[in-house]
A and B are shown apart, each in its own frame.
Chain A
Amino acid sequence: MTSHQVVPIKVYVAVWAALSILTMTTWQVALIDLGPFNIIAAITIAVVKMLLVVTIFMHVRQADSLTRLYVGAGFLWLVILLGILLCDYLSRSWIPGGQFWPSGPAMIVGG
C-alpha cells in the first residue's frame, strides 16, 4: 500500500497561499487586454494550480508508481478527448474547393 508520509502543515499553508495568489493573478490578468494571450495565461495558471493540488493535496508526489500511472492515464484520456475533438474542429473547413484545397472544382459538401 501507499506509505502514509505526513506532509508538514506549513507545506499545506504554503500551497493554499500559492493557490490564492494564483487565483488573484487570474482575475487581474483577465482585466488586461492581452488579445489571444488572455486565454493562454488563464489556462497556464489553471494548470499550475491543478498540479499543486494533485501533487501536494492529493499526495500523488508520495504515491506509488501504480497510483501515478492511473493519474497519468486520467491526463492521457483528457488529451485523447481534447486532441481528437480539436481534429474535428480544425479540419471542418477543409472543404474540397475551399481555402485549404487550392486545386480542383469548388464543391459544396452534402449538396
Chain B
Amino acid sequence: MSTAIETPRSTETLNYLNTKYGWKSWLFTTDHKRIAILYLISISFFFLLGGIFAMLVRLELATPAGDLFNSDTYNKLFTMHGIVMIFFFLIPSIPATLGNFLIPMMIGAKDLAFPRINLLSWYIYIVAGLIAVGTMAYGGVDTGWTFYPPFSSTYSRTYVVAAAIAVFVSGFSSILTGLNFIVTIHKMRAPGMTFDRLPLFVWAHYATSLIQLLGTPVVAITIALLGLERIFHVGIFDPAIGGDPILFQHLFWFYSHPAVYIMILPGMGVINEIVACFSRKRPFGYPFIAGSSIGIAVLGFLVWGHHMFVTGQSMYASLVFSLLSMAVAVPSAIKVFNWTATMYKGSIRFETPMLYAFGFIGLFTIGGLTGLFLATLATNVHLTDTYFVVAHFHYVMVGGMVLGYLGGLHFWWPKITGRMYPEFWGKLSALIVFVGFNFTFFPQFLAGYAGMPRRYHAYAPEYQVFNVMSTAGASVLGIGFTLPLIYLIWSLFYGPKAPANPWGAKGLEWETSSPPPTYNFDTPPVMNEEAYNYSGDDTGVHVG
C-alpha cells in the first residue's frame, strides 16, 4: 500500500503532479487541480458508458424491425444513455474539470474558496455515480431521463427510485460546485482583477453557477416528491390518486431547461478563450458577451413551458412561453455574432482547439436555430416527440458542448499535464468528429420532419435510409472520440514537454509554469492590463 511521500522522484521543477505521490495524496487532496483530474477521469468513464448505450441504440435502429432488443430493453437503453450523459457527463463536464482547474488560476487565486467542499462535491458525484451504475447492473430503468409520471410513479416496473436517488444525490455535487465558484469569483480575485477584466470563461462559469445554485434544488425536490408518490402513494402527480402530471413537468423543466444552459454556457466560455487566442484579438464586444451569459442564465428560467406545448397546459401560457423562448435566442445570437466579429480581420491560426471552435460555432448555430422551430407553437405540434427534437438537442449538446469540451481540453492540455499532444492527430480527430457528427444527426432532422417518432425500437421502413446514415455516422463519430483518448494518454508519456504558454495566449493561467505549482503561482499575481490584450502581440505558437 502506497503512502504520501513529500519528495519528488526527479530533479524536475515541483508542480502539483509531483509534490506528492500515492493514492492517498489523490483521494484526500484539496488541491482544485487534482480534484479536476479526479473529475476528468470520472466523467470520461461515464462518457464511455453513455456512448456504449448510444451505440446499442443506433445498432438497433439500423433496421426497421425491432430485431436486436425487445421494446423494454430498448426503453432502458435510451433512458440510461440519457441519464448517464446528462447528469453524469454533460452537467459536470466543463465546470468540474476545466472550470475547477482554471478558475482559481484565471483570477489569480491559490485555490477555490472552499477546497474541502470541492473534494466533497467529487465524493458526492462518485456516490451518485455508483448508485446509477448499480441501478443499471440490476436491470436499469425505462422511464426516459425525464421520469414523467404517472408512468414513473405508478406503472413502471423498473428501478425508478434507485435511478431517481442517483440523480437526486448528483444534484448536490452540482450545487456545491456552483456555490464554490460564486464565492471564489466574488472573494478571491487577485489585485487588479476587476469584473471587467475577468476572462469570459469565468463570466460563463459565474452564470452557470447561478443556474446550478437556483435551479438544482427544484429538481431535487421534484424527484423527492416523485419518490414519495411511488413509495407511499401520496397523490401529487398521478391523476388516479388526485395528482397532476403536468405539475411534474412544470417542476422538472423549471430546472431541466436551464440545465441545458448549465451544459452549454461553459462551452461558450471555452470558445471565447480559443477564438480570442487563435485570432490574436480581444473578443469583439466583451461587455455584451459577458452580459449575454448572465442574460441566458436569467431568461433561461422563463422558457421551460416550451417543452409542454402539447401536454394540456394553458394555451395562453404556451403563447407566453413561445415568445420568451424566442427572446432567449437573442443573447445566444449575440455570442455567435461576436465570435465571428472577433475573427474578422484576425490573424487566425488553424490549430486543433480552433478547429473544434469552428465546429462549435457552426453546429451550435444549427442547434439554436432549429430550437426556434420548436419554440414556434404550430411547428412544435408537428415536431414534438419526433427525431427532429433528438437532432436539435444533440446539435446543441454534442455539436456544441462536447466539441467545446474537446476544444478546451486540447487548449489547456499542455497547462494541465505539462505535455503537448500530437497536433496532426488532434486536427484529424477534430475533422472526423465534425464529419461523423453531421452524418449521425443531420439525417435525424429529415427523419423527424418526415414524422419518425422518437423512443421506438421499430419504425416504418421509409425511414430506414435516414437511420442507416445515422448509424454509419455514429461509427465514424465513435472513432473520432476514441482517437483523442488514445493520443492524449500517449502524450502523457511521450509528448514533448510544454512551455508555460505554448499558444501565446493571454490570461493569468498562462503566466505560471506547465504544469502549475501546487499553489498556482510562485508569487501572487497582479492583473495590470486589460483582459485579452493581444494588440501588438506577436508571440509565436509552439505546437507538438
Contact = CB atoms under 8 A, between A and B. Distances in A.
Interface of A: 1, 66, 70, 73-74, 77, 80-81, 84-85, 87-92, 94, 109
Given A1-B187, A66-B186, A87-B320, A77 B314 contact: no
B288 to A, nearest CB: 23
Contact of A87 (B213, B251, B301, B317): B317
Contact of B305 (A66, A70, A73, A84): A84
A84 B316 contact: no
Contact of B214 (A73, A90, A92): A73
Interface of B: 182, 186-187, 210, 213-215, 218, 246-247, 250-251, 254, 301-302, 305, 312-317, 320
A77 B214 contact: yes
Given A74-B214, A77-B301, A80-B302, A88 B314 contact: yes
A59 to B, nearest CB: 16
A76 B320 CA distance: 19
Contacts of A109: 315
A81 B254 contact: yes
Given A73-B214, A77-B301, A109-B315, A88 B250 contact: yes
A67 to B, nearest CB: 10
Nearest to A1: B187
Contact of B317 (A1, A74, A91): A91
Contacts of B218: 81
17 contacts: A1-B187, A66-B186, A70-B182, A73-B214, A77-B214, A77-B215, A77-B301, A81-B218, A84-B302, A85-B250, A87-B316, A88-B246, A88-B305, A88-B314, A90-B314, A91-B317, A92-B312
A94 B186 contact: no
Given A66-B186, A81-B218, A88 B302 contact: no
A92 B313 CA distance: 7
B61 to A, nearest CB: 31
Contacts of B210: 73
Contacts of B316: 87, 91, 94
A80 B316 CA distance: 17
Given A87-B316, A87-B320, 9 more contacts: A70-B182, A81-B254, A84-B305, A85-B247, A85-B250, A88-B250, A91-B316, A91-B317, A94-B316
B207 to A, nearest CB: 13
Contacts of B301: 77, 80
A74 B211 CA distance: 11
Contacts of B250: 85, 88
Nearest to A81: B254
Nearest to A96: B315
Nearest to B244: A89
Contacts of A73: 210, 214
Contacts of B317: 84, 87-88, 91
Nearest to B218: A81
